[in-house]
Amino acid sequence: MTDTPATTAPLAQARIAVIGYGSQGRAHALNLKDSGLDVIVGLRKDGPSWQKAIEDGFAVAEPSAAVAEADLVAVLTPDMVQPELYRTAIEPNIKPGATLLFAHGFNVHFGQIKPRADIDVVLVAPKGPGALVRREFEIGRGVPCLFAVYQDTTGHAEERAKAYAAGLGGARALLIRTDFKEETETDLFGEQAVLCGGASELVIKGFETLVEAGYQPEIAYYEVLHELKLIVDLFYEGGISRMLEFISETAQYGDYVSGPRIVDDATKARMKAVLTDIQDGTFARNWTEEYKAGLPNYKRLKQADLDHPIEKVGKALRARMPWLSATAPAAKPA
């Protein structure tokens, strides 16, 4: 972590090119602009976000043109399009001594992008989706940010990274120093083993177990999926101790004696195998090859999830709960 105060001053005279205008890109651009920084958005002229960025008050240009006039270039496009974007629009146009910034270290860490030697390369990763990054900024708070320096050509890479994080509102909360390796590998592991892969599979297997035992699918849905939000909110507010404080003693006892039966040492061993695949580059190679092949396995696996009975049951039940639409995430996935 860092206790050094961070301000936007090191970027006060800089032009920042935000490349990409999805959930994170739009939040970054708006927060930086509202922090008093000079922002241009780089987009394809025929892309769907071009007009939206103009309506939001930004100067907009093709990525190569935006990069050419920028002192800091923030790459906020999906991981798999970044190598080609770097090769065609960034590498030939970024000024010597400029800063190249990523919000995820994937491509640099795994060698998909090899930055020019005459630029600074840094990372600023807010620990929240774009909608939250924007919302917290608007109410005067901020989302904690990780920051890292991969290449410091000018001697100013770290102060520029921290200034960018301050512009996002991250310095209002917490800035945590890391490196590209740690950020990339822990982020991929968290998504795969716990937050997305682990949680969704746990929910699906719990649903199947109850339905196969003869219980109503609607009740199974509520017990293993709908009520999960209540538990996660307590985790978010105060960790495991907060969750235990607000559940019954019966639920606590069940937690203590049954949790380790479901997630045991064998599960942890498989988690370690997942982490090894991330660390040695196996996952990155497989994902890159999958993307280049046109995503056949990705599409098949995604459709299987969408076709699962829990989705049909959930859709019908959520239609009876109109209040959920008021709390649904504002951002669509990239």
pLDDT, tens digit, 9 for 90 and up, residues 284-300: 999 999 999 999 999 99
Would you list which residues are annotated within the binding site for substrate? 248
Secondary structure (3-state) at 85: helix
The pLDDT assigned to 69 comes to: 94
The pLDDT assigned to 333 comes to: 41
As a whole number, the mean pLDDT across the chain is 95
The pLDDT assigned to 57 comes to: 96
Answer whether 113's CB lies under 8 Å from 83's CB.
Answer: yes
> Which residues are designated catalytic?
104
pLDDT over 60 at 22, yes or no: yes
CA dihedral sign of residues 311, 316, 321, 322: positive
Please give the model's pTM, rounded to 2 decimal places.
Answer: 0.92
Task: Name the band, by pLDDT with cuts 50, 70 and 90, for residue 4.
Answer: low
The pLDDT assigned to 46 comes to: 79
For residue 75, count other CB atoms closer than 10 A to its CB: 27
CATH superfamily, domain 9-178, is NAD(P)-binding Rossmann-like Domain (3.40.50.720)
Would you list which residues are annotated within the binding site for NADP(+)? 21-24, 44, 49, 130
pLDDT, tens digit, 9 for 90 and up, residues 107-131: 999 999 999 999 999 999 999 999 9
What amino acid is encoded at 199 in this protein?
A
Would you list which residues are annotated within the binding site? 21-24, 44, 49, 130, 187, 191, 223, 227, 248
The whole-angstrom separation of Cα 276 and Cα 273 is 5
The whole-angstrom separation of Cα 147 and Cα 206 is 38
Q: Which of 300, 299, 298, 269 is nearest to 286 (CA)?
A: 298
Give residue limits of the domains in the chain: 9-178, 196-322
Task: Name the band, by pLDDT with cuts 50, 70 and 90, for residue 332.
Answer: very low
pLDDT, tens digit, 9 for 90 and up, residues 43-94: 999 788 999 999 999 999 999 999 999 999 999 999 999 999 999 999 999 9
pLDDT, tens digit, 9 for 90 and up, residues 187-200: 999 999 999 999 99
pLDDT, tens digit, 9 for 90 and up, residues 170-188: 999 999 999 999 999 999 9
